[in-house]
């Protein structure tokens, strides 16, 4: 059993979660914030069997698009952190995936 943590763009989250649930995966959606841009993104938690990990990756590859995103140096939470940086653009994935081993999995 594995737990996939997939950090994806908010705009892709509904279609990606829906594609996963259509294929029988169980998905939890968390609202998260990237530490660099300090803007909202989405983290999906997907608990699944080892032999299904490639299918999860393939679905996320299909529905999560790489974008250019502007740095916002005056975002309220991050105000001051990038004070000396001029605003620029960064490429934001697609999806960033962590695949963790699960010691135990129960539902009561
Ligand atoms: P953010 O931290 O807001 O990062 C947004 C984008 O800014 C990144 O896109 C990358 O292009 C750039 N970036 C991030 N940290 C940087 C740094 N220290 N120096 C230079 N450029 C940097 P992605 O790599 O596609 O990451 C998208 C989001 O996925 C990140 O949002 C963060 O929430 C998460 N993430 C990515 N890698 C991670 C990691 N190793 N650990 C935890 N979260 C990660």
Which residue's CA is the closest to the ligand 1 atom numbered 39?
96
Fold of the domain built from segment(s) 2-66+92-101: Alpha-Beta Plaits (3.30.70)
What confidence score (pLDDT) does residue 105 get?
97
Separation of alpha carbons 50 and 78, rounded Å: 38
Report whether residue 91 contacts ligand 1, using a CB cutoff of 6 Å.
Answer: yes
Q: What is the pLDDT of residues 64-83, one digit of tens each?
A: 999 998 877 655 555 545 55
| Residue 96 CA, ligand 1 centroid: distance in Å | 8
Domain boundaries, the chain: 2-66+92-101
Which ligand 1 atom sits closest to the C-alpha of 41?
33
75 CB contacts (<8 Å, ≥6 apart)? Answer: 37, 38, 39
User: Region 86-102: what's the mean pLDDT?
Assistant: 91
Cβ(20)–Cβ(27) below 8 Å:
yes
Q: Tell me which DSSP letter residue 20 carries.
A: H
Q: What is the pLDDT of residues 10-55, one digit of tens each?
A: 999 999 999 999 999 999 999 999 999 999 999 999 999 999 999 9
Say yes or no to pLDDT of 96 above 70. yes
Q: How many helices (H) and strands (E) does the chain have?
A: 2, 6
């Amino acid at each position: 059993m594995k737990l996939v943590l997939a950090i994806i763009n908010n705009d892709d989250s509904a279609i990606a979660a829906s594609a996963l649930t259509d294929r029988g995966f169980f998905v939890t959606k968390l609202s998260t914030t990237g530490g660099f841009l300090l803007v909202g993104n989405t983290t999906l938690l997907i608990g699944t069997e080892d032999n299904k990990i490639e299918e999860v990756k393939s679905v996320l590859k299909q529905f999560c698009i790489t974008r250019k995103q502007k740095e916002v140096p005056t975002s309220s939470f991050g105000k001051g952190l990038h004070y000396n940086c001029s605003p620029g653009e960064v490429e934001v994935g697609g999806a960033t995936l962590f695949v963790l081993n699960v010691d135990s999995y129960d539902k009561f």
